[in-house]
Amino acid sequence: MRRRLRRRMSPSEMARRMSKGEPNPLLAGSVEEFERMIQFVFSTPPEIPGFVKGILLKEAQSHRAGNERIFKQLSSEMEALEPDLPKIKARTFVLWGDQDRVLDASSADVFKKGLPDCTAVIMKDCGHLPMIERPHEAAEHYLTFLKRK
């Protein structure tokens, strides 16, 4: 019997919300939705100047339909991922934030157990995008991984 990824990791806040029929918090079509998205993905949101937020919002709006299709496809295929993990022979680095509300941090354990040569780091007090939220710390973890043989 093949175990599915969803059964071995804790459901994220995003998964719980969407299972109740709430809208995807990663899709922004308005300033308010964009602000909520920023608050959702970061434990400590970075300072983003207003004009940059405007540019990012326009990008999000222009890609909304495509992103909706991608999210639907990813959520339906996520279950099939775990059985294929042992086939990946390359050294793998997994970086996760312990406050990730999009994909629960327990997912890192699934990758660590399933990938033959995996280094997993879970950053404390960090959200879904550690490389943006704390780029220097994320880079240090990655450089440490690269130095290991």
The whole-number pLDDT of residue 55 equals 93
Residues ≥6 apart with Cβ < 8 Å to 15 = 104
> Could you tell me the domains of the chain?
1-149 (3.40.50.1820)
pTM for the model = 0.84
CA distances from 148 to 39, 69, 91, 92, 93 (A): 35, 38, 10, 12, 11
Tokens of 50: 């207003």
Alpha carbon of 146 to those of 12, 91, 92, 132, 142: distances in Å?
29, 9, 10, 20, 6
pLDDT tens for each residue of the chain, 149 residues long: 344 444 467 889 998 998 899 989 999 888 889 999 999 999 999 988 989 989 999 998 998 888 888 887 776 666 667 888 999 999 999 999 999 999 999 999 999 999 999 999 999 999 999 999 999 999 999 999 999 97
